[in-house]
Amino acid sequence: MPVGKNGDSVTSIDVARLAGVSQATVSRVFSANGNFSGKAAKKVLGAARTLGYRPNAIARSLVSSKSGLIGIVKGYSENPIFQEALTRFTYLIQDAGKQVLYFESRRHEDIDEVMGNVLQYQVEGIILLYAAMSSALTLSCQQRNIPVLQMLRHSSGCRANIFVSDNHKAAGEVAGHLIDRGYRHFIYVSGELNSSINAERHAGIVDKLGETGCPPPMTVEGDFTYDSGRKAVRKIVKKSLLPCGVICASDMMALGALDGLRHDLGLRTPRDAGVAGFDDVSMASWPSYSLTSVRLPISEMVRDALEALCLNIEDKAREPVVRKYAGILVKRRSTARKGKD
């Protein structure tokens, strides 16, 4: 219950008495769906300020059956792009007059266990950030009429709004760029093998190399972290012919790969090995790395995705949408071999 400036509990009845209006009028003024204006609203708001009154969101949700809560579940990842997406989602949700209920899974934790906790709350919709959802959990959300949004990663057979980058196309463009720079032997440092992001990027690289007559890439598994990228190049580069193109499934692994090539193996980049990544995180543009990468339109994706989810919240019968966004290849010094334009 709200507490007034003098420490006493303040109710909507107190506000109504001071404002000289009915309690129903106070409720309409503070309603999430209210469109109440005029002298009465000014009296109510003035009285609320005087008394230090704030409406109880939980009590209001019990009356309206609308909690105003959007659940966000983020899978374990050290990639800064997911933190950027989370921040943008949070600001937009708050601007829309709703609140975020946030959960994050630990490394190797089953996302279904986390989702089980989310479903204990009266959420209006669920956003999955880099988190795959099982078919059983999908059915559970459908039975509860809770719309779902999958962002940057998706699960097959899941009835949800899906907003992702066109990973296949972007990976093909990266491979084509490295071919244009004169590389003919390739290494792919993958992410987690069971992720849709990894599968699509690997397929895009393989398809592009096949089109141009280059052999398929040597592949080593990473986990989207800096350390895994650094370890990966130490493990596999000695088996490859030089110069070679190293394509990493994320910028964090690519940054680790650059340091591994230079400091651990003593190779010259980009002369001996060119390195490229995905996501164009802020560190990619640092002069010490100058990493070629694919930039995603995160701001646009978040805005469009949240709009789609809100439409589903208002109209549960509305069909979810699937949308892919083209990335922009940002060419930097990590692939700029001398003599190549």
Q: Is the CA virtual torsion 189, 191, 197, 198 positive or negative?
A: positive
Q: What angle do CA 209, 235, 172 make, to 5 degrees?
A: 20
pLDDT at 1: 47
Alpha carbon distances (Å) from 296 to 20, 157, 197, 307? 54, 25, 13, 18
Looking at the fold, whether 58 and 137 belong to one and the same domain comes out as: no
Looking at the fold, whether 50 and 107 belong to one and the same domain comes out as: no
Q: d(Cα 40, Cα 27) in Å, to the nearest integer?
A: 12
Q: Is residue 3 part of a domain?
A: no
pLDDT at 132: 64
pLDDT at 292: 98
Looking at the fold, whether 173 and 228 belong to one and the same domain comes out as: yes
Average pLDDT for the chain: 85
Q: Is residue 283 part of a domain?
A: yes
Looking at the fold, whether 174 and 269 belong to one and the same domain comes out as: yes
Residues 269 and 258 sit within 8 Å (Cβ to Cβ): yes
Q: What angle do CA 117, 123, 2 make, to 5 degrees?
A: 100
Alpha carbon distances (Å) from 159 to 47, 108, 150, 197, 272? 47, 24, 10, 18, 46
Q: d(Cα 60, Cα 150) in Å, to the nearest integer?
A: 29
Q: Is residue 198 part of a domain?
A: yes
Q: d(Cα 177, Cα 126) in Å, to the nearest integer?
A: 38
Which segments in the chain show pLDDT lower than 50? 1, 3-7, 32, 58, 61-64, 341
Looking at the fold, whether 292 and 314 belong to one and the same domain comes out as: no
pLDDT at 204: 96
CATH of the domain at 52: 1.10.260.40
pLDDT at 315: 87
Range of the structural domain that residue 76 is part of: 69-165+298-325
Q: Is residue 6 part of a domain?
A: no
Tokens found for residue 266: 């003593």
Q: Is residue 124 part of a domain?
A: yes
Q: d(Cα 198, Cα 193) in Å, to the nearest integer?
A: 6
Q: Is residue 4 part of a domain?
A: no
Three-state SS at 331: coil
pLDDT at 62: 42
Condensed to tens digits (0 to 9), the pLDDT of residues 281-320 reads 999 999 999 999 999 999 999 999 999 999 988 888 888 8
Looking at the fold, whether 183 and 269 belong to one and the same domain comes out as: yes
pLDDT at 31: 65
| pTM for this prediction | 0.76
Q: d(Cα 189, Cα 223) in Å, to the nearest integer?
A: 9
Q: How many domains does the chain have?
A: 3
Condensed to tens digits (0 to 9), the pLDDT of residues 158-182 reads 778 899 999 999 999 999 999 999 9
Q: Is residue 7 part of a domain?
A: no
pLDDT at 64: 47
